[in-house]
Every structure is written in structure tokens, then in C-alpha cells.
């Protein structure tokens, strides 16, 4: 047998269903949340846009539920235009407004336009096409961290004083930082909020069973494999993304060795890889300061005053970075009850 006519394809029926962009046909165990989003957003059908705020940990289904509702909405009515923007990729006022204009199929000259001109394009689109843009702003905390939340005022202004209409779904896994936003933004964007909680093990198992049915040949896996992947997701804070990725990587391990069935050893191997990938993704979210500070913290407790002395950085910046690192689970901190001094260590 030649090198390239191996048994490729005998594990995967449709590998695409494992990709992060894939939107399942059915969202399971999130009926309540899906219905709530639909209820809040349905005013657009009558020309009354509303904003919705979704928050909860990574892998709890926020993005999938929001996209699912908007897909249904667009299919149901010609009066809406869905736009998805991940603020991690588009993280400035200018890039977000441009991306909205692009998504509305509007011509934006290459030399660029001023923000107010982009806003005008968005408003004109609504009037011309008779459609309301419904915009998902995913990972919206990025805007707060980069001090680019001004674009939220732009979107607010479109509806309040500029005679246009847009509806927004804001999504975050950092509830705290969004709550620090200005009261005006909060009362308009965060008023209708839905909390997503981590999935329970049995729910992860159902999600994975569904995904396995859609993506793998039935002979290529059994219950034990799905259970092991769901269990791993459950231990990683009920994160469905980790569970789906583990199943995907396990299947790839088996495929790599030209086997027709996923074995538990494949899952074990894939676990390590998933953890490395997860760590890599978390690190991508850190800036240079955060990284430098992280490198100077070991697994032994160190007083933060010592760090301040050691690092040639602004104290305030160090404090902010330490907050970020702690929130993302890279470090932990404790306060000495007697002296009131703070110590940190790497996790
Ligand atoms: N209720 C669900 N039904 C089916 N698949 C789901 C469900 N919730 C999450 N998933 C899958 O799990 C992964 C992570 O979900 P996602 O919506 O991206 O979570 P979040 O946005 O909260 O981080 C995706 O691959 C998604 O398809
Ligand atoms: Mg998401």
C-alpha cells in the first residue's frame, strides 16, 4: 500500500464539526438561555432594537447560543442583518466600526474613513435596506482592558440621538471588568443580562455524544471515549470547548496511526496536548508587561514589595498585571494578616 492511500477518513465522517467556528444544528441543555436571548432581542422584528448581555465562564455556550439565536432570527425575518465581531480580533473603535460597515456590504475606501463617516454608513444602511443590524460583540472585556470602550458610546449614540437603529449582544467571561463601565453604558447594554453556568458532567456527555454522532463514524468510538472526554471537560470547570477539543484531538491521534478506532490511550495523549494549547491561548491574552512579571514569579511565595523593587516597571502597571494574572489563573495571592503585605506565587 502506498504512503498516501492509507485508511484516511475512516475515523472522521465530518471533521468540520470539531472546529471552533462550527455552529451545531441543535443547542442542547441551553433551552432556557436560548429562549431568553430570543425574548429580549425579538423587538427588532417590530423595529424596536434592544441590547443583551451574556456572561459566564469559557466553554459555557455563550457564543454558540448567541449565534444560534441570530441565525434563526435572520432566517425568520428579512428585517435583520447579523454581524459577528470578536473584540479580541477587532479591538479598537476604528476597526470595529469598519468591520461593521464591511459586514453590511458597504463600500469602505481603502484609505479609510473617519469614525463619524463609518457611523453614517451604518445608519444609512438601515434606512436604505430597511434592516436592523444585530451585532454580537464577543469577548467585549478586551475593549475595557484596552480602553477602547468608546465604541460602545458610538453604538449607543446611533440609536439615541442619530436616528439610526442597531441591536447588540455583548458577551464576556469577565463580568467584573464590564461592571466597571460607566453607568450609562451599563444601563443600556447590561440591563438585560443572562448568566451562563458551567456545564454539568452529564450535560457535557450529551453535547459530546451529539458531536461524535455528527463527526465520527459509529465504529470509531465507544461510550468510554466520550465519557473520558466529558469527564476531562467537567474537571476543567465544565468547559465544553475543552471537551470537544479533546475528542477531536483523540480522534486525530488514532487517525495518525491509521487505526480505525479511538483508544483510551489516544485520549490520554491528547489531554496533554489540549492542556498545552489551552496554556498557549491563555498566554496570547497577556501583554508584554504581564509576561515579564509572570517570568519573575515562581512557585514559591514572594512579597509583592520585593517584585516592585526587582522590576523596572511602573508600580501601577505591575499591580494591574498582577490582577490580570490572578484573574486568568496564572498566579495566586495572599495577604499577611499581621503585616497586611501581599505575597504572590505561580500556580
Ligand atoms: N449547548 C451546547 N450544545 C452543543 N454544543 C455546545 C453547547 N455549548 C457549547 N457547545 C460547544 O462547545 C464549544 C464551546 O462553546 P462556546 O459557545 O464557544 O462557549 P463560550 O462562548 O461560552 O466560551 C463549542 O465547540 C460549541 O459548539
Ligand atoms: Mg465564546
Q: Please determine, for residue 8, whether its predicted confidence score (pLDDT) is greater than 90.
A: no
- Inter-CA distances, 248 with 17, 150, 271, Å: 9, 39, 11
Q: Tell me, what's the pLDDT at 4?
A: 60
The yes-or-no verdict on residue 109 having pLDDT over 90 is no
Choice from 240, 245, 278 to test ligand 1 binding pocket (greatest atom count within 8 A of CB)? 240
- Please give the distance of CA 17 from its chain centroid, rounded to a whole number: 18
Residue 78 falls inside a structural domain? yes
Q: Report which bound ligand comes closest to the CA of 87.
A: 2
Same domain? For 234 and 300 the reply is no
Average pLDDT, the chain: 92
**Which of 61, 140, 237, 249 best tests ligand 1's pocket when mutated (most atoms within 8 Å of CB)?**
61
Task: Point out the domain boundary residue: 284, 303, 322.
Answer: 284
Mean pLDDT of 269-284: 90
Q: Which ligand is nearest to the CA of 62?
A: 1
Point out which residues pair with 302 in neighbouring strands: 344
In this prediction, residues 147-159 reach a mean pLDDT of 93
In a domain, 218, yes or no: yes
The pTM of this model reads 0.86
Q: How far is CA 150 from CA 96, 117, 219, in A?
A: 11, 16, 53
Q: How many CB atoms lie under 10 A from the CB of residue 135?
A: 24
Q: Which residues pair with 342 in a beta bridge?
A: 335
Domain final position from 195, 225, 240 = 195
d(CA 295, CA 299): 11
pLDDT at res. 326: 86
Closest C-alpha to ligand 1, atom 16: 61
pLDDT band of residue 324 (cuts 50, 70, 90) is confident
298 lies in which domain range? 288-346
Q: How far is the CA of 64 from the centre of ligand 2 (A)?
A: 7
| Residue 315 shares a structural domain with residue 226 | no
pLDDT band per the 50, 70, 90 thresholds, residue 278: confident
- Nearest alpha carbon, ligand 1 atom 13: 241
Confidence of residue 7 (pLDDT cuts 50, 70, 90): very low
d(CA 74, CA 71): 5
User: Is the same domain home to 299 and 249?
Assistant: no
Least confident residue range of 71-75, 106-110, 294-298:
106-110
- If you measure from the C-alpha of residue 62 to the centroid of ligand 2, how many angstroms do you get, rounded to a whole number? 6
Radius of gyration of the chain (CA): 23
Shared-domain flag, residues 93 and 168: yes
**How many domains, in total, are found in the chain?**
3
Q: 249: Cβ–Cβ under 8 A, 6 or more apart, which residues?
A: 270, 273, 274
- How much distance in Å is there from the Cα of 28 to the middle of ligand 2? 16
Residue found by looking up cell 492511500 in the block: 5
pLDDT at 91 over 50: yes
* pLDDT single digits (tens) 165-219: 999 999 999 898 899 999 999 999 998 999 999 999 999 999 999 999 999 999 9
**Residue 155 shares a structural domain with residue 295:** no
Q: Are 208 and 66 in contact (CB under 8 A)?
A: no
Amino acid at each position: 500500500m502506498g504512503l498516501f492511500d492509507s485508511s484516511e477518513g475512516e475515523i472522521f465522517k465530518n471533521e468540520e464539526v470539531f472546529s471552533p467556528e462550527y455552529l451545531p444544528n441543535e443547542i442542547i441543555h441551553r433551552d432556557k438561555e436560548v429562549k431568553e436571548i430570543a425574548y429580549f432581542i425579538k423587538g427588532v422584528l417590530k423595529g424596536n432594537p434592544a441590547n443583551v448581555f451574556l456572561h459566564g465562564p469559557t466553554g459555557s455556550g455563550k457564543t454558540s447560543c448567541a449565534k444560534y439565536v441570530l441565525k434563526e432570527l435572520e432566517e425568520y425575518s428579512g428585517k435583520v442583518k447579523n454581524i459577528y465581531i470578536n473584540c479580541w480580533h477587532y479591538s479598537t473603535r476604528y476597526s470595529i466600526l469598519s468591520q461593521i460597515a464591511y459586514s453590511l456590504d458597504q463600500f469602505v475606501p481603502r484609505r479609510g474613513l473617519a469614525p463619524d463617516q463609518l457611523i453614517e454608513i451604518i445608519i444609512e444602511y438601515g434606512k436604505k435596506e430597511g434592516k436592523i443590524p444585530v451585532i454580537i460583540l464577543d469577548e467585549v472585556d478586551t475593549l475595557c482592558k484596552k480602553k477602547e470602550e468608546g465604541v460602545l458610546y458610538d453604538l449607543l449614540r446611533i440609536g439615541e440621538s442619530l436616528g439610526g437603529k442597531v441591536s447588540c449582544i455583548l458577551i464576556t467571561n469577565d463580568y467584573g471588568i464590564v461592571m466597571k463601565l460607566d453607568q450609562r453604558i451599563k444601563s443600556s447594554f447590561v440591563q438585560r443580562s443572562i448568566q451562563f453556568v458551567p456545564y454539568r458532567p452529564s450535560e457535557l456527555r450529551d453535547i459530546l455524544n451529539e458531536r461524535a454522532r455528527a463527526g465520527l463514524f459509529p465504529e470509531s468510538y465507544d461510550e468510554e471515549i466520550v465519557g473520558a472526554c466529558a469527564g476531562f471537560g467537567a474537571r476543567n470547570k465544565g468547559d465544553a470547548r475543552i471537551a470537544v477539543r479533546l475528542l477531536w484531538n483523540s480522534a486525530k491521534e488514532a487517525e495518525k496511526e491509521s487505526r480505525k478506532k479511538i483508544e483510551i490511550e489516544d485520549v490520554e495523549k491528547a489531554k496533554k496536548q489540549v492542556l498545552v494549547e489551552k496554556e498557549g491561548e491563555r498566554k496570547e491574552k497577556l501583554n508584554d508587561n504581564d509576561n515579564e512579571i509572570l517570568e519573575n514569579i515562581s512557585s514559591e511565595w514572594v512579597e509583592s514589595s520585593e517584585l516592585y523593587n526587582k522590576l523596572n516597571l511602573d508600580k501601577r502597571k505591575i499591580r494591574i498585571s498582577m490582577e490580570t494574572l490572578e484573574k486568568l489563573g496564572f498566579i495566586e495571592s495572599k495577604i499577611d494578616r499581621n503585616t497586611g503585605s501581599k505575597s504572590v506565587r505561580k500556580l
